[in-house]
Amino acid sequence: MPPRTSARCKRPLRERTRARILLLADTAGPEGAHKDTDISKTLHTCTLTVGRIRRRFCQEGQEAAFKHKPQQNRKQRVLDGEAEAHLIALTCSTPPQGHKRWSLHLLQNRLIEERIVDTVSHETVRQTLKKTNLNPG
């Protein structure tokens, strides 16, 4: 039996759309270059996206136009996987004496006391618990 050919593509949709933008914008094509508005209507994208892809292709080359550009100013996470696991275990444990339940500030202080992290805000604790559906509020 011959190998089955798959109809699905090997490239992400974003890369295929960017390639189509550049193909439609190509001046050497049989129809010539299309306008940005025509390309955006044809491919159901924003005209700003079309212009951005064309500019990136001209300034940085083909690889930069197709690939996703990583974020430059991305903050490093305060709570890694181990610290998150400790936070979840702490949340599921009994609260300190004199308290009915854990508050975000109590959890924040306990993480710092146990030297899990040097500093952490109660907002980071809240977002982490919200992500895991364990918000004590």
47 phi/psi in degrees, rounded to 5:
-65, -30
- Amino acid identity, position 86: H
Cα separation, 32 vs 64, whole angstroms: 23
Q: Per-residue pLDDT for 9 more than 80?
A: no
User: What pLDDT shows up at residue 41?
Assistant: 94
Q: Per-residue pLDDT for 134 more than 80?
A: no
Q: Is the pTM of this model over 0.75?
A: no
Q: Which residues of 113-134 are buried (b: 16+ CB within 10 A; e: fewer)?
A: eeebbeebeeebbbebbeeeee
pLDDT band for position 5 (cuts 50, 70, 90): very low
User: What pLDDT shows up at residue 10?
Assistant: 84
Instruction: Count Cβ atoms below 10 Å from residue 15 Cβ, excluding itself.
Output: 15
Least confident of 16-20, 29-33, 81-85, 119-123: 29-33
